Amino acid sequence: MSAGRFPLTALRAEETRRRLEAFLAEMGAPAYRARQILAWVYDRGARSFEEMRDLPRELRAALAERFAVHSLRRERETPAGDEACKHLFLTREGYPVESVGIPVPGGATYCLSVASGCPVGCGFCASGAFFHRFLAPGEILDQYLLMKAAGGRTPAPSGIVLMGMGEPLLNWRGTRGFLAAIGADCAVGARRITVSTVGVPGRLEALGREFPQVKLAVSLHAAEDSVRAALIPAAARMPIAALMAACRAYAELTHGRRITFEYVLLAGVNDGPRAAAALAALLKGLPAAVNLIPYNPVAGAAFARPAEAAVAAFAAALRARFTGAVTLRRSLGGAANAACGQLGSEPARSRGARRRGGV
């Protein structure tokens, strides 16, 4: 996006419509063109004003001087060979943002990012190795719109997960604005959206109050503070006892909405029978499910994926003690470094990227 041009997705659609109408009045063009333009952006997948062929040529040129259609630029798509597809976008500064289309029956789940890199610094996640900045609401929305417009390799969306690069509840402004916009401007129901978080003081409750229908996934990965803090440096700011108290408060605010706890299995770290028993005890009494995720290799990370037998044994030990659902995530996208934990492993991390820890 050229400097100085205002992205149409930077504001809620109604605010953008008013801004467009003011511009159209300056140009002597009819106000109805504003709705035409927004239909091109939100419904018809336009990436440039030149694609809006039912607008006069002179108006398209004038719009392109004042506005940009999107704030992110789609750089490339990388199919993984298993129907998953990774999308690389660049911010106006050239910072990388990655999203993934994950095939599911009847469509695709869109895994979106809330940052370029991640400040949490999980040692098993490629995104945690660098951090540029958080994304604005319109930049998160742009991933959805541009992936949807791409067609072909990524089917139409059936669900959205904020589970890519970055911590959604640290970027509360971006996440909050995106959740409001995706519902009002794109007619995506809250029940089709999942927010994944390591836990941020005060923000779990805020999510439950403001968006009670949105699904919650908590990246837990260990039931003991010492192990979790070693895996997730930022977890030291929210001990497991405080995280569980926040989860209970969230469950009350949402009238018992089920919380999914994500658990990355790391060989010799958190995949033994004692860890399974501790996890079951920790979640007792919560409306909970557990999603087990065998580790996806990341270059330079000092972890290994457990053997299939170890994964099966952990799942069996957990099911024997835990009454909620226990699922094993099917790993897709690995051939394109697009599986869980692998986003950010390919793009250059220059332009002032920095490692940041803490909440």
pLDDT exceeds cutoff 70 at 51: yes
Q: What is the pLDDT of residue 103?
A: 87
Percent of the chain scoring above 90 in pLDDT: 79
Burial of residue 12 (number of CB atoms within 10 Å: 0-12, 13-18, 19+): middle
Q: Find tokens 């995280």 and name the residue.
A: 243
Active site residues: 98, 340
Q: What is the pLDDT of residue 337?
A: 76
Of 334 and 87, the one with more pLDDT: 87
pLDDT in tens, 71-109: 999 998 888 878 789 999 999 999 999 999 998 888 899
Is the sign of the CA dihedral 113, 119, 121, 126 positive or negative?
Answer: positive
Which regions of the chain carry the CATH code 1.10.150.530? 6-68
Region 147-163: what's the mean pLDDT? 84
pLDDT exceeds cutoff 70 at 3: no
Residue 38 and residue 41: Cα distance in Å, rounded? 5
DSSP assignment of 159-187: EEEE-SSS-TTTSHHHHHHHHHHHHHTT-
Q: What is the pLDDT of residue 151?
A: 67
For residue 153, name the pLDDT band (cuts at 50, 70, 90): low
For residue 332, name the pLDDT band (cuts at 50, 70, 90): confident
pLDDT in tens, 249-295: 999 999 999 999 999 999 999 999 999 999 999 999 999 999 999 99
Residue 332 and residue 191: Cα distance in Å, rounded? 23
Structure tokens at 110: 């869109």
Q: What is the pLDDT of residue 321?
A: 97
Q: What is the pLDDT of residue 334?
A: 75
Q: What is the pLDDT of residue 338?
A: 67
Q: How far is CA 20 from the centre of its chain?
A: 29
Q: Find tokens 């991640």 and name the residue.
A: 118
Is the sign of the CA dihedral 21, 26, 27, 30 positive or negative?
Answer: positive
Q: What is the pLDDT of residue 350?
A: 44
6-68 placed in CATH 1.10.150.530: yes
pLDDT exceeds cutoff 50 at 37: yes
Q: Are 224 and 278 in contact (CB under 8 A)?
A: yes
- DSSP secondary-structure letter at 354? B
Which regions of the chain carry the CATH code 3.20.20.70? 73-336
CATH code of the domain occupying 73-336: 3.20.20.70
pLDDT in tens, 159-180: 999 999 999 999 999 999 999 9
pLDDT in tens, 185-217: 999 999 999 999 999 989 999 999 999 999 999
For residue 346, name the pLDDT band (cuts at 50, 70, 90): low
Residue 186 and residue 176: Cα distance in Å, rounded? 15
Of 203 and 336, the one with more pLDDT: 203
Of 297 and 214, the one with more pLDDT: 214
Is the sign of the CA dihedral 174, 179, 180, 181 positive or negative?
Answer: positive
For 15, the 3-state DSSP assignment is: helix
Q: Are 145 and 13 in contact (CB under 8 A)?
A: no
Q: What is the pLDDT of residue 283?
A: 97
Residue 74 and residue 64: Cα distance in Å, rounded? 18
For residue 356, name the pLDDT band (cuts at 50, 70, 90): very low
Of 96 and 342, the one with more pLDDT: 96
The helix or strand, by DSSP H or E, that contains position 24, with its residue range, turns out to be helix 13-27
Residue 189 and residue 159: Cα distance in Å, rounded? 9
Q: What are phi and psi of 302, to 5 degrees?
A: -90, 50
Q: What are phi and psi of 216, to 5 degrees?
A: -115, 135
